[in-house]
A = this chain, B = another copy of it.
Amino acid sequence: MNQIKFILLVLACYFPLVSSAQTDYNLWLQYDKIEDSDLKQSYLKSVKGIKVLGNSKTLEASREELSKAYNSFFNQELETADSGDGLLILANIDQLPANLSNSVKPDLENINSEGYIIKSATQDGNKTILITAKTDIGVLYGTFRLIKEMQLHNDISNLAIIDSPKIQKRVLNHWDNLDRTVERGYAGFSIWDWHLLPDLIKPEYTDYARANASIGINGTVLTNVNANSLILTEQYIEKVKALAEVFRPYGIQVYLTARFSAPMESGDVDTADPLNAQVKQWWKDKADEIYAEIPDFGGFLVKANSEGQPGPNNYDRTHVDGANMLAEAVAPHDGIVMWRAFVYSEHDPEDRAKQAYSEFVPFDGQFKKNVLVQVKNGAIDFQPREPFHPIFGAMPNTPLMMEFQITQEYLGFASHLVFLPKLFEETLDEDTYVNGENSTVAKVIDGSLSNKKLTGIAGVANIGTAKNWTGHPFGQSSWYGFGRLAWDPYLDSERIAEEWLKMTFTNEEEFVDPMTDLLIKSREAVVKYMTPLGLHHIMNTNHHYGPGPWVSNLSRPEWNPVYYHKADEEGIGFDRTISGSDALAQYADPIAQQYSSPETTPEKYLLWFHHLPWDYQMDNGETLWHNLATTYQEGVEDVEEMVETWNNMEEYVDEERFKKVSMLLQIQLKEAKWWRNACLSYFQQFSDMELPESVPQPEHDLEYYKSLEFPFAPGIRPSWE
């Protein structure tokens, strides 16, 4: 061995130290060193230098991101260049010289203001790559896309990528309180350090913006829907402004939640009646005050007359009155109002699943054009599985915004591995049939079904101060996947899983293939071990941690699990057909008809729509009780399989994440068994039937499961609730 070879060997030994700097703080932006030398050579040939035309913080962020990635991929600097082979050009279309802008003119018609074009071209015999767009933000998105192509080890020698987001408002909702606790947050404290804002700008704020921009998220609601009106005071607006300035170069608008009674709490007005002139003026002044500080402020998200929150009903006014009053205040500034449809009343004996529809559908067409009605994916509340919300498709003249929950309030907190894009995809793909076949929820949301001008999608964030942002290392995949589906609601969740795994861990097939499979199956697993066959809302009280099918002592009937499963000696399930609550009538006809009989209802929704006897015969010829029990057991077995799969992944994952996920999977397995045991013990009282042989006997008796208490489970509501 000559000396050079020896030193190269030494060099090779040192590098693992560098690349082991991979930490889950970096999310899917790990930018792992490209080890394959052919691939590396081909990338280095394609990108030798960078030229940025134009001048803005957004273009600067694009250049910095590329430099960071390049450095990390290749251990070498990306140099600025003016011409030559391998030039990467970044510019929005207005900055391009004529020859270049002409070359992309036809493509331009196929992108919107946030879309981008990435194109390989040959100029004077030199190969170049051009990233261009109608706006600098488009260029930033294109930049992240080019980086991603390299993260995925795709060929970049001949690029022709054209892409645009299909939904306009792609927004995270943070249920973060001003005291830094996070309602339904399982990843530590709120990342917003209000006390030290605006003076301390943490690097996390920029990294949050980078991560969101990389997947196209363009808005963030900073505060809890259970709102505190202090956020609207001068003291806090100054803090919000500081965050907005960090986010602006990344194309992210900030929004706030508006507590409907804020005018009263400010001490300025003694009512919050939306038709009162002083109240209207108060909100207009407030909007002007905010926009003076934050010219690109996004607008307000409002939870009104829901679960104790104040709202227009307090003054015998309607949701339309309330939303339109706020909409008028922000309209001069191009702001929007996201008005939540999550309402149900303790005074209304009607099936809770029907109430939001009953309340909102009659208002169709009455909202101002800058109002989006924000509707949860299902009619109850972010359960492991719900049929799509019947409002989707039922308000053709109202922009409807989808609200998904990324934080796992009802899906095992941050300790269960559940890949939520699979759930999101299921809802988006469901067919409302309102304009005939293929009237999917996705088409409602992206506006294509009814030619909507304003479109939006929201995800309740699972982000906190945890060193890896989401607590569970795999919680990151749901944040990532939400962003991807917000950009394009027709994406396949399997593709999302695959790309996230590659970007976050490794491109090794032996890792990616089995883990993609694991991610995709993980959602069905949680449905099986928590709420199989259409069961829902049978969790424990307040913290929503663990099973509580026996709970029947809460003041509001529709807060009790017994309200939802209605188990008794006769059977189990909620009859939502015409013989029951008739919630089914809120769906368009092909569904309403198909689901009216248990025989033609998909088994996954069986007990959502039907109350059936324990010995009801299922498709496989077994009784309902038998299938209920075996499905719970299958859920447990699915988690056992996840454990096994993960154990084979040790060589592909850094030690810290490997161990953490191993421990978390053991928690998930323990809790899957707990759900199975507790729920089957409870339901068995009524079925009075033996467990199938394949299902183990519960370790404890029912009284034990009922006795468990968790007063300090995380994410509990603020005490006003």
Contacts and interface: CB of A to CB of B under 8 A. Distances in A.
Interface of A: 3-4, 7-8, 10-11, 14-15, 17-18, 21, 75, 178-181, 188-189, 194-196, 199-204, 230, 413, 415, 465-467, 656, 659-660, 663-664, 666-667, 670, 710-714, 716, 719
A194 B465 contact: no
Nearest to A203: B656
A667 B4 contact: no
15 contacts: A7-B7, A14-B18, A18-B18, A178-B711, A188-B188, A188-B465, A189-B189, A189-B465, A195-B413, A200-B660, A200-B664, A200-B667, A202-B660, A203-B656, A465-B466
A466 B4 CA distance: 45
Contacts of A4: 3-4, 7
**Which of A21, A189, A203, A465 is most buried by chain B, counting CB atoms within 10 A of its CB?**
A189
A714 B180 contact: yes
Contacts of A10: 11
Contacts of A230: 711-712
A696 to B, nearest CB: 21
Contacts of A719: 719
Nearest to A178: B712
A201 B663 contact: yes
Contacts of A664: 200
A178 B188 CA distance: 13
Task: Return the 3 tightest CB-CB contacts between A and B, nearest first.
Answer: A178-B712, A199-B667, A7-B7
A663 B200 contact: yes
Given A14-B75, A201-B663, 6 more contacts: A3-B3, A3-B4, A4-B4, A189-B189, A203-B659, A467-B467
Nearest to A8: B7
A415 B200 contact: yes
**Which of A195, A659, A714 is most buried by chain B, counting CB atoms within 10 A of its CB?**
A195
Contacts of A21: 21
**Which of A4, A17, A230, A656 is most buried by chain B, counting CB atoms within 10 A of its CB?**
A17
Nearest to A664: B200
A73 to B, nearest CB: 13
A269 B11 CA distance: 69
A188 B191 CA distance: 9
Contacts of A663: 199-201
Nearest to A202: B660
Contact of A11 (B11, B181, B188, B659): B11
A3 B5 CA distance: 11
A657 to B, nearest CB: 10
A200 B719 CA distance: 28
A617 to B, nearest CB: 40
Contacts of A195: 413, 710, 712-714
A249 B656 CA distance: 20
A720 to B, nearest CB: 11
A693 B667 CA distance: 67
A672 to B, nearest CB: 13
Nearest to A72: B17
A194 B667 contact: no
A189 B187 CA distance: 10
A416 B719 CA distance: 31
Nearest to A466: B465
Nearest to A177: B712
A287 B10 CA distance: 57
Contacts of A203: 656, 659-660
Nearest to A715: B195
A14 B8 CA distance: 13
Nearest to A7: B7
A199 B14 contact: no
A130 to B, nearest CB: 30
Contacts of A188: 188-189, 465
Contacts of A670: 199
A631 to B, nearest CB: 25
B712 A194 contact: yes
A473 to B, nearest CB: 12
B196 A415 contact: yes
Contacts of A710: 195
Nearest to A10: B11
A434 B21 CA distance: 56
Contact of A667 (B196, B413, B660): B196
Contacts of A467: 204, 465, 467
A632 B201 CA distance: 28
**Which of A179, A664, A713 is most buried by chain B, counting CB atoms within 10 A of its CB?**
A179
Contacts of A180: 712, 714
A23 to B, nearest CB: 9
Contacts of A3: 3-4
A312 B209 CA distance: 54
Contacts of A200: 415, 660, 663-664, 667
A481 to B, nearest CB: 24
Contacts of A716: 179
Contacts of A7: 4, 7-8, 11
A352 to B, nearest CB: 29
Contacts of A18: 14, 17-18
A17 B178 contact: no
A567 to B, nearest CB: 29
A151 to B, nearest CB: 19
Contacts of A711: 178, 230
Contact of A712 (B11, B179, B413, B714): B179
A664 B710 CA distance: 38
A71 to B, nearest CB: 8
Contacts of A201: 663
A180 B190 CA distance: 13
